[in-house]
């Protein structure tokens, strides 16, 4: 971890962050400025564009530590900017947005066009906007908005805009003038307690208690990390034998199916649904196990056939004998998601959802150990209600926001 200090929207922001954390993640997760949207995470779609020292930068491929001491402006910091005031009015007038997901990045790029290319024609504007993708508008309204601002400034020059253009031409940058920041009191989070774990509707289950939630979504070198766990009322040796039986393990994970299995390698599919998001990842995985330490790492990778999003992840689990008849299973999930679905991986709701699934997975393991399948009998796939779990997690989070753990 390193200390990263930036000037964001005219305010000093300093937080500890992993050395390889991107600026977009830093702004969203550390500075809590969620107006910066993350899409492709490859520097292609432009949704994450922010200004660094007045110049547009793709925050999804720029390391936060590389911006140390620099001036960063996000969509939240444009209120006093004369160019952005004109662009926002023009975007509204010309219907230049629909869903709005690309709009923060589109506005940052449009501002750069207005300042850098005062004589640009429509063809040049389209070329300059080609690095910002929009799936809703067809670009007609966006181009019309930018052209109207250029025309207005040519007809009636604005001294404040001229000053920004001069600063940019002299290489001094054209960062917006930030208004005095207004502090947002925010919500007062409550500590996570047993009540949240009971919110899933399985509070009366005699099966494993979910482990206390770890800090949300820690970012490590190659992805996001979530810690969880559960307890099983069986001896560690018996639990370990079950946990390295891949078909049995998959049967406890809702949405997982194995198509082929050879030794410690499997091929199959994992179908997930979370609110509006649904995906089915086809891929392969292998199990690396240490029988003496009762520790295993399940490494997998797959791709969603519909969105073409790609996922890579390691699931590490460690068994600890709490007593001759009680075992704790600690679970660590390290994952990365690339493509259109990447935006969902950072949601705190998703992280809570995953922890709840880990707890339910523990319930399923306990149930299977209590009633193992007979010799030759097919394993019955565990099922769950994703809609009910989604709203349960959402309600638990809302109660935490408002400091109500009951």
**Token pair for 329:** 């299973």
Q: CB within 8 A of 16, min separation 6: which ones?
A: 1, 2, 3, 4
How does pLDDT run across 119-146, given as a tens digit for each residue?
A: 999 999 999 999 999 988 889 999 999 9
- CA 210, 213, 216, 222 dihedral sign is negative
How does pLDDT run across 184-229, given as a tens digit for each residue?
A: 444 444 444 444 434 444 434 433 433 333 344 444 445 677 888 8
Residue 396 is predicted with a pLDDT of 58
**Token pair for 123:** 């063809």
Give how many domains the chain has, as a whole number.
2
In this predicted structure, which of 281-290, 294-303, 341-350 has the lowest mean pLDDT? 341-350
173 pLDDT above the threshold of 80:
no
Q: Which of 124, 153, 169 is the last residue of a domain?
A: 169
pTM: 0.50
Question: Considering the domain boundaries, does residue 187 fall inside one?
Answer: no
Residue 202 DSSP one-character state: T
**Residues 164, 203 within the same domain:** no
Residue whose token pair is 């509006």: 276
Residue 399 is predicted with a pLDDT of 54
Residue 382 DSSP one-character state: P
Question: Considering the domain boundaries, does residue 216 fall inside one?
Answer: yes
C-alpha–C-alpha distance, residues 334 and 178, integer Å: 38
C-alpha–C-alpha distance, residues 77 and 72, integer Å: 9
Question: Considering the domain boundaries, does residue 235 fall inside one?
Answer: yes
Instruction: Produce one character per residue of 240-258: b if its CB has 16 or more CB atoms within 10 Å, e if not.
Output: bebbbebebbbbbbbbbeb
389 pLDDT above the threshold of 70:
no
Residue 263 belongs to what domain range? 194-401
Residue 81 is predicted with a pLDDT of 92
- Give the model's confidence band at 83: pLDDT under 50 very low, under 70 low, under 90 confident, else very high: very high
Query: Which regions of 239-389 does DSSP assign to beta strands (E)?
Result: 256-262, 265-274, 277-290, 295-304, 310-323, 326-338
Q: What is the 3-class SS of 324-341, one letter each residue?
A: CCEEEEEEEEEEEEECHH
346 pLDDT above the threshold of 50:
yes
How many of the other CB atoms lie within 10 Å of CB of 54?
Answer: 18
**Residues 230, 267 within the same domain:** yes
How does pLDDT run across 299-323, given as a tens digit for each residue?
A: 888 888 777 778 888 889 999 999 9
Residue 179 is predicted with a pLDDT of 53
**Residues 202, 350 within the same domain:** yes
**Residues 219, 159 within the same domain:** no
CATH at 358:
3.30.530.20
Residue whose token pair is 């600690």: 330
Question: Considering the domain boundaries, does residue 35 fall inside one?
Answer: yes
CATH at 67:
3.10.20.30
How does pLDDT run across 40-69, given as a tens digit for each residue?
A: 888 889 999 999 998 899 999 999 999 999
**Residues 164, 210 within the same domain:** no
């Amino acid at each position: 971890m390193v200390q990263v200090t930036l000037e964001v929207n005219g305010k000093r922001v300093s937080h500890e962050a992993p050395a390889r954390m991107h600026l977009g993640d830093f702004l969203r997760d550390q500075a809590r400025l969620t107006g910066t949207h993350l899409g492709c995470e490859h520097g292609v779609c432009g949704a994450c564009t922010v200004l660094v020292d007045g110049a547009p930068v793709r925050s999804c491929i720029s390391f936060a530590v590389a911006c140390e001491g620099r001036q960063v402006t996000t969509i939240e910091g444009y209120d006093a900017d004369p160019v952005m005031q004109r662009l926002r009015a023009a975007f509204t007038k010309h219907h230049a947005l629909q869903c709005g997901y690309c709009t923060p990045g589109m506005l940052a790029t449009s501002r750069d066009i207005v300042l850098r290319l005062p004589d640009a024609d429509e063809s040049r504007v389209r070329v300059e906007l080609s690095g910002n993708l929009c799936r809703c508008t067809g670009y007609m309204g966006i181009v019309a908005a930018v052209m109207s601002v250029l025309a207005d400034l040519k007809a009636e020059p604005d001294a404040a805009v001229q000053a920004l253009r001069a600063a940019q031409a002299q290489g001094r940058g054209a960062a917006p003038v930030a208004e005095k920041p207004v502090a947002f009191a925010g919500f007062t989070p409550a500590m996570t307690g047993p009540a949240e774990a009971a919110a899933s509707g399985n509070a009366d289950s005699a099966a494993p208690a979910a482990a206390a939630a770890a800090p949300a979504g820690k970012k490590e070198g190659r992805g996001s990390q979530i810690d969880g766990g559960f307890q099983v009322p069986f001896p560690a040796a018996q639990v370990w034998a079950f946990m390295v039986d891949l078909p049995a393990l998959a049967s406890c994970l809702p949405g997982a199916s194995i198509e082929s299995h050879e030794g410690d390698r499997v091929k199959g599919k994992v179908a997930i649904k979370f609110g509006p998001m649904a995906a089915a990842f086809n891929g392969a995985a292998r199990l690396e196990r240490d029988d003496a330490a009762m520790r295993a790492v399940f490494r997998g990778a797959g791709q969603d056939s519909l969105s073409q999003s790609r996922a890579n992840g390691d699931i590490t689990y460690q068994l600890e004998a709490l007593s001759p008849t009680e075992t704790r299973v600690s679970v660590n999930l390290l994952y990365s998601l690339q493509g259109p679905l990447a935006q969902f991986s950072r949601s705190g709701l998703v992280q809570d959802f995953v922890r709840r699934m880990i707890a339910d997975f523990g319930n399923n393991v306990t149930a299977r150990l209590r009633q193992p399948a007979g010799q030759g009998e097919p394993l019955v796939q565990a099922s769950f209600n994703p809609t009910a779990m989604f709203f349960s997690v959402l309600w638990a989070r809302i109660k935490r926001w408002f400091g109500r753990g009951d």
